[in-house]
Amino acid sequence: MKRFSEAYLKKLHIGNITLGSNVLMAPLAGYTNYPFRLMCTKLGAGLAFTEMVSANGLKYNDQATAKLLYTDEDERIKAVQLLGSVPAAFEYACRSAYTEAFDIIDINMGCPVPNVIKSGEGCALTQDMKLASRIIEACKRSGKVVTVKFRPGMNRDNIVVSEFARMCEDSGADMITVHGRTRNMMYEGEPVYEYIAEAKNAVNIPVIANGGIHSEEDALKMMEQTGADGVMIARCGLENPMIFSQLTGKRTEETKLSLMLEQADIAGRCFDELAAMEHIRKISSYFMKRLPGTKTYKQELYGCGNMQEIRRVLVKIFGETEK
């Protein structure tokens, strides 16, 4: 089989920033926190984004929102994804101390969930190009590199992918990521490669392809069908973070057990114990998704009362399966 690393792997230039690979980890609400992002980049991801952060939440100094932005010098290139619909809130967020450490601002214009759409945020912005343009321009005034993630439109009768891509570039975006499903497709069904190809043909900035990539074969097909400059991995990165080393050809001796124990160490260092335990339970639940006895393992994990107990259960779960 053709290897992604031989056929399509390359460095990616976004504005004045150069990434080591064109295989990226998507922002995923509730998951792509600091420890998880470090793991992805360690395994070969060129960049991993924070989970979705409310621009309004930062404007009003919401501390729960601010906690999503934990980072330190070990994260070499830092990218935050902002959600909202008010240009002034985006500009404030981009210029604030909250995002001072971040090199890249990614704007969420693709989230399809009902509450986000009702607020005029996420994918709803594909229906208001003037407002979307003002948001991009507001972020660019911070002087940071700006990227945009969006869907081709609300449904197949309302595809705006080429026009929207051009608007992003004209407004100052340094890169776009196109999820190949319309809003009404949510996260189901095969992505429509033609939509991503249309975006690629419409602009000169890098275009990243996203949606339905669960294996190296999927990533190869995505690149072949779209001509994109790279791929963005989403849910597969939770279940199989080794996908990054597979796609980039990065040699690693890591196992699921070693990765989970390292996640526990990092989470224990930068979060309080309850938050660290929550993170390990969520990530390990994805890691063990295809293992026999998953239900019993989960019950054991959620029955743990501290991180020391969680570590013992992790060794039991992944140590046994990796012998």
Q: Where are the domains of the chain?
A: 4-248, 256-321
Mean pLDDT, residues 282-303: 88
What fold does the segment set 4-248 form as a domain?
Answer: TIM Barrel (3.20.20)
**CA dihedral sign, ordered 203, 209, 210, 211:** positive
222 to 84, 125, 183, 200: CA distances (angstroms)? 29, 25, 19, 12
Question: How many Å from the N-terminal Cα to the C-terminal Cα in the chain?
Answer: 28
Q: What is the pLDDT of residues 245-285, one digit of tens each?
A: 999 999 999 999 999 999 999 999 999 999 999 999 999 99
Structure tokens at 309: 């107990």
Q: Using alpha carbons only, what angle is made at residue 267 by residues 262 and 273, rounded to the nearest 5 degrees?
A: 130
CA-CA distance, 141 to 139, in Å (whole number)?
A: 5
Q: Which of 101, 102, 82 is nearest to 91 (CA)?
A: 82
- Polymer length in residues for the chain: 323
Model confidence band, residue 1 (pLDDT cutoffs 50, 70, 90) = confident
Q: Which of 184, 169, 123, 116 is nearest to 150 (CA)?
A: 123
Mean pLDDT, residues 37-44: 98
Residues identified as active-site: 111
Q: What is the pLDDT of residues 211-246, one digit of tens each?
A: 999 999 999 999 999 999 999 999 999 999 999 999
